Structure 1
């Protein structure tokens, strides 16, 4: 699994991780719902830092982030989509891998626009969001605080 470099050169490893791959044949609303359920099941079964359970609010926000990222992959990227969840003491890292090498771009705020707010939502609720090239496409990684 990937490693996260912390301050002062310390390497932080997730205490728990899980991933699932959805083939392009699974595309659509069923895949998005499955990814949301996968995320909720992972967080409900996994203790957060100090053995505490993850709050329902944080589980719901994680489900929203996964839903938005997977929706982008379903709508815009060819081929399979992989969801990777990495649990740290204080945060959840959500990564979605897809086959399109183009980064998602937040659109300008427009309250009249219907839909296409996914990237804006993810940026608003997460501590950080990055896009990394991962042949044959990219990895979108969002870090969500569990506090």
Structure 2
């Protein structure tokens, strides 16, 4: 099993999200059995959404963990907020979002949100290899 962990800092959140995406691409490229291009880009999209949400709504800092299992890739993001992501109707006119969490749930085989004993939460998405 291959794993990687990246702490994403809030200094420039757009830059931080880009670093998370690049880290995910590097992790996937280094796997002994590479993913198909479409599967890899799906993992990167989920990383981007979960890290963006953690920085925006989860206290401004997060840690990204990626784990390669034989049949799946697990994307896990830890942040400081106890508030779970909400499934809501996307805002098509006001620009307040609502697209990311439903999209992650459609792309992933499973998602979970766990509250951490030390505070905050862990959001995980498992995607097919």
Normalised to the residue count of structure 2, the TM-score between the two structures is 0.91
Task: Tell me how far 1:111 sits from its aligned partner.
Answer: 5.4
Aligned equivalent of 2:104, options 122, 131, 135 = 122
Runs of 4+ in structure 1 deviating by more than 4 angstroms, as ranges, are 109-114
The number of residue pairs the alignment matches comes to: 127
1:131 corresponds to which residue?
113
Aligned residue runs from structure 1 range 1-147, under 5 A: 15-24=1-10, 26-47=11-32, 52-108=33-89, 114=95, 115-134=97-116, 135-146=118-129
Work out the CA distance in 2 between the residues paired with 1:33 and 1:23: 11
> Is the 2:89–2:98 Cα contact (8 Å) retained in structure 1?
no
Work out the CA distance in 2 between the residues paired with 1:27 and 1:100: 19
Structure 1: gaps (5+ residues): 1-14
Normalised to the residue count of structure 1, the TM-score between the two structures is 0.80
Note closer, same or farther for the CA distance 1:113–1:128 as it changes in structure 2 (3 Å cut): farther
Note closer, same or farther for the CA distance 1:137–1:58 as it changes in structure 2 (3 Å cut): same
> Is the 1:105–1:119 Cα contact (8 Å) retained in structure 2?
yes
Q: Deviations over 1:31-64 (max 9, x none)?
A: 11110111111001112xxxx3211111100010
Work out the CA distance in 2 between the residues paired with 1:75 and 1:111: 19
> Is the 2:58–2:81 Cα contact (8 Å) retained in structure 1?
yes
> Is the 2:76–2:124 Cα contact (8 Å) retained in structure 1?
yes
Structure 2: gaps (5+ residues): none
RMSD (Å) for aligned C-alpha atoms: 1.6
Work out the CA distance in 1 between the residues paired with 2:47 and 2:77: 8
